[in-house]
Structure 1
Amino acid sequence: MDYQEHINKDVRLIILKALYSQDDYSLNSSILQTLLENYGHTESRDYVHNQLRWMERNVQAVKLTQAGTVLVATLTSAGRDHVERRARLEGIKRPSPEV
């Protein structure tokens, strides 16, 4: 695995865990971009959008809705199962035993 793929997997897990922590399982891409900076990932909005689209298209971990210039991501049951370690989604870092 190359370095960028390692970063992508980590970013995807951070996003899923952030969505999981919300009462409605949803956040917009602008908030996610700011949150990722707290974990040392200073990425562009386009990068965040591409990761969200990847998770929607490839593993159905999120459902996306366009709202102006941002994407609103909502965690799906597949994404929740990954965060809770009941299932494993390829291309997303596996969460540690503590959620």
Structure 2
Amino acid sequence: MAFEEHLVEDARLVILKELASQNDNRLSETMLGHVLQIFGHTRSREWVRAQLRKLEEMGAVKLTEVGTVVVADLAQAGLDHVERRAFLDFVRRPGLEA
């Protein structure tokens, strides 16, 4: 696997974990971009949006456009991945946490 693929899979996991940590399981693409930057994924808004669309194709998130911003809502498949009940291809598996 190419290094870029590892980065993409890690970024997708960061997105899912951050959505799962929210009280309502939702965040805007802008806020997710800030979270990704904290974890070392400094990418454009278009790149973040592309990852969200891919996660939507997988059934991991549901996207809603609010004006010019995309809001991601964690879907059951995304939560199952974060909680290690079922795994999604092309998303890094979460580690075991105590």
- Taking structure 1 as the reference length, the TM-score comes to 0.96
- What secondary structure, in the 3-state scheme, does the structure 1 residue paired with 2:18 have? helix
Q: Name the counterpart of 1:17.
A: 17
- What secondary structure, in the 3-state scheme, does the structure 2 residue paired with 1:60 have? coil
Q: Name the counterpart of 2:75.
A: 76
Please give the root-mean-square deviation of Cα atoms over the aligned residues, in Å: 1.0
Runs of 4+ in 1 over 6 A off after TM superposition: none
Gaps of 5+ in 2: none
Distance 2:3 2:45 in 1: 20
- What secondary structure, in the 3-state scheme, does the structure 2 residue paired with 1:14 have? helix
- Taking structure 2 as the reference length, the TM-score comes to 0.97
- The within-5 A match list for 1:1-99 is 1-57=1-57, 59-98=58-97
| Code of the aligned partner of 2:46 | D
- What secondary structure, in the 3-state scheme, does the structure 1 residue paired with 2:11 have? helix
Gaps of 5+ in 1: none
For these two proteins, the number of residue pairs brought into alignment is: 98
What's the CA shift string for 1:8-42, capped at 9, x where partnerless?
10000000000000011000000000111101111
